[in-house]
Structure 1
Amino acid sequence: MSREYPDHPRVGVGAVVLHRDRVLLVKRGGPPAAGKWSLPGGLVHLGETTAEAAGREVAEECGLRVRVAGVAGVVDRVVRDPDGRVRYHYVLVDHLAYPDSDGITAGSDAAEVRWVEISEVERLDTTEGLVDMIRRAIALAGRGGTG
């Protein structure tokens, strides 16, 4: 099924990877939201849990192994074209995660990947709701969401 003009919603994941006062962000290399900073993530594969998908996507996009600690939030992302037709429709399950390895490398679908000081995220051109999701993950981490 095509991601563009789908016949039903697609289930995707993101990972809020926290390390000290930084969060791991990916500059999107393709649509939707090409060129914007976002969480590493992608679609869930058949037979895969959302936690497994989040870990796999971080490895693919950033070259980093992570420990997934829990669900930070769930969001609906519906993008319509000028005629009102649904161009993209995702249900995204974002997970809190922590790095289990060192070093990051941008994968083929990421224009860039980097650790960003949490206090600097609002200055970047980000995807909708990113700052709020990072706050949710930080709150979960503060409640002992350590995996």
Structure 2
Amino acid sequence: MGWVEVDRVRCVGGIVHDDDGRLLLIRRAHDPGRGLWSLPGGRVEPGETDHAAVVRELAEETGLDVEPGPYTGTVLREPFVIHDYACRVRGGRLAAGDDASDARWLDAEAFTLMADTGRLVEGLVDTLRAWNALPRGAD
């Protein structure tokens, strides 16, 4: 049996903390990860930069206008290659939309409860811990 080449899909995600150290998460409305909480983000459109995609995706999923900052890291969830960026909110009003059924700011306690009850996408806690991006006070 030969190897099958899988086309990877470039995606972006936004890691957004508010002034209180809470982390912005969305509940996924569609697969993969339907019903689970994750960082907001999505596919990079042809000809679009990562930063432009982060701004667009976060506006669509959370209603917030963000300014992308430094690259934080990459996660591979075949066939998706997700490049995550630290972001700060410039404006907008938090409201779930597009591929999100809910959007919330989570403090350390709420984040830990979601992790303990299996409501976060697989690997999110370990990835955010490795990137020092957990909500303030978590861990």
Q: Same fold (TM over 0.5)?
A: yes
Distance in 2 between residues matched to 1:40 and 1:137, nearest whole Å: 18
Q: How far has the Cα of 1:51 moved from its partner?
A: 1.6
Q: Is the 8 A contact 1:63 1:104 kept in 2?
A: yes
Dislocated runs of 4+, deviation >6 Å: none
Counterpart for residue 134 of structure 1: 128
Q: How far has the Cα of 1:108 moved from its partner?
A: 2.8
Distance in 2 between residues matched to 1:58 and 1:118, nearest whole Å: 22
Counterpart for residue 43 of structure 2: 43
Query: How does the TM-score come out when normalised to structure 2?
Result: 0.81
Q: How far has the Cα of 1:63 moved from its partner?
A: 0.5
Distance in 1 between residues matched to 2:8 and 2:108, nearest whole Å: 31
- Partner amino acid, structure 2, of 1:15: G
Q: Which runs of 5+ in 1 are unaligned?
A: 1-5, 79-88, 140-147
Q: How far has the Cα of 1:23 moved from its partner?
A: 0.8
- The count of corresponding residues between Structure 1 and Structure 2 is 124
Q: Is the 8 A contact 1:16 1:137 kept in 2?
A: no
| Higher deviation after alignment, 120-129 or 69-78 | 120-129
Q: Which runs of 5+ in 2 are unaligned?
A: 135-139
Q: Sequence identity, in percent?
A: 36
Q: Deviations over 1:85-130 (max 9, x none)?
A: xxxx111101110111142011132110111113431321111222
SS in 2 for 1:105: coil
